[in-house]
Each structure stands twice: as structure tokens, then as C-alpha cells.
A and B are shown apart, each in its own frame.
Chain A
Amino acid sequence: NAGVTQTPKFRILKIGQSMTLQCTQDMNHNYMYWYRQDPGMGLKLIYYSVGAGITDKGEVPNGYNVSRSTTEDFPLRLELAAPSQTSVYFCASSPPGGLGELFFGEGSRLTVL
């Protein structure tokens, strides 16, 4: 099992560009999440999904969009990138009843210049 796989690992964007961060998991987990981690700050929830076709906003959703067409994949779309979106993005998944046991990917480091 690969667990949670994120691509790309690194990316530099110019202001105003758009991109999609990919996330896939092979553990058949229903729940998937996107967090961002800024230096010296805790992880902040961007969006989450409880299953295919169902998504909901987290604490910091502005400037992002998500979709969940399959159990395995949960891509995060950045529209009109801004310097404030420079961060490390983590995708995570958990089984139902996992109660906080999240399995994280290795992260995608995004810089917006």
C-alpha cells in the first residue's frame, strides 16, 4: 500500500496562475481532507469530504476548490494564485470511526511569486 500520495511535491506559481494539487489514497478510506501548514503555524483545514460526491468547507476555504468523483481521489484546485497561498499543503484520509486518526501524505510545497 502506498497510503496517501500527493503530486507535485514542489511547485512555483506566478501570481494569477491556477493549478491543481493531486491526492490519491489506496486505503479505501471514505474521509479525505486538505490542510495547509504555514511556518510556525498549526495545520488549518481547507476542505474535507466524507465520500464521493460530498465535500464541505473547512476553516480556510477561500481561494480553493475541491471535487470528489471517486473514493480514491481528492484534488485541490487553486484559482488565481496569490502570495498568501504560499504554503505546504497536506492531503489526509481516515476511515469512518477513525476519530482523529488521519493518514497524511508527504505534502506539496507551493510558492507563489
Chain B
Amino acid sequence: QKEVEQDPGPLSVPEGAIVSLNCTYSNSAFQYFMWYRQYSRKGPELLMYTYSSGNKEDGRFTAQVDKSSKYISLFIRDSQPSDSATYLCAMSGAYGGSQGNLIFGKGTKLSVKP
């Protein structure tokens, strides 16, 4: 079983739709959970960051972590064509020197049609 599983899509939705992106993981030591957004031919950029279980909201974006189910989600409300990108989940159990030793999902490619 891979450490982090993420459906690669592609996912195509109409503008204004609610988008749900998900990852599952197997390592119960993970405590830090992130969502990165990557536009075509660009580097990833941090979108959302969550520590342990719970919800975090930032504008149209909501990140959820359910550690009991080893499941994380990213919701995008009122999706826009500018949200078209690949979304990568990432997670880590480490602090300090190895804090960047993130385990990434494969990414889900999202397309929002006008």
C-alpha cells in the first residue's frame, strides 16, 4: 500500500461548481497536512496547511483532516477557471531538519470550464 493515495483525475467541472479533492494515507505518524496548487509548467505553491485533525477555511477553500480515517480533503467553492491546475496533497510527521521531507500524492488535475 502506497503511503499517500490520490486520484489523478482528470476532473472537469463547470464554473461555479463545488470541487472535492481527496487523499488517503497509511502512516499514522503524519501530523502536518498540506495542499499545494501547481499550474502547468510552474512550481507548486502552498495553498492550505493544517495541523492534526480538523477544518481550516481560507476564502473559497476549505481543508479537512480526519486522522481517524486517515483521509484529507480540499473543497473549493464557487470554482473559477483560474482554479484549473493540478492539486497535490502532501503530509509529514516531522519537525526540524526534516520538515521538508514531505510525502506527496500524485496530484489531481482539475479543469474548470467557463
Residues of A within 8 A of B (CB): 4, 31, 33, 40-45, 48, 50, 56, 58, 90, 92, 94, 97-107
Residues in chain B within 8 A of chain A (CB atoms): 4, 6, 8, 32, 34, 41-46, 49, 51, 88, 90, 92, 95, 97-107
B7 vs chain A, min Cβ distance (A): 12
A107 touching B43 by the CB < 8 A rule?
A: yes
Contact (A100, B90) CB under 8 Å given A33-B100, A107-B43: yes
Q: Which of B88, B99, B105 has the most CB of A within 10 A?
A: B99
B99 touches A99 (CB 8 A): yes
Question: A41-B106, A42-B107, A43-B88 known; A100 and B99 CB under 8 Å?
Answer: yes
Q: A42-B105, A94-B100 are known contacts. Are A106 and B43 too (CB-CB below 8 A)? A: yes
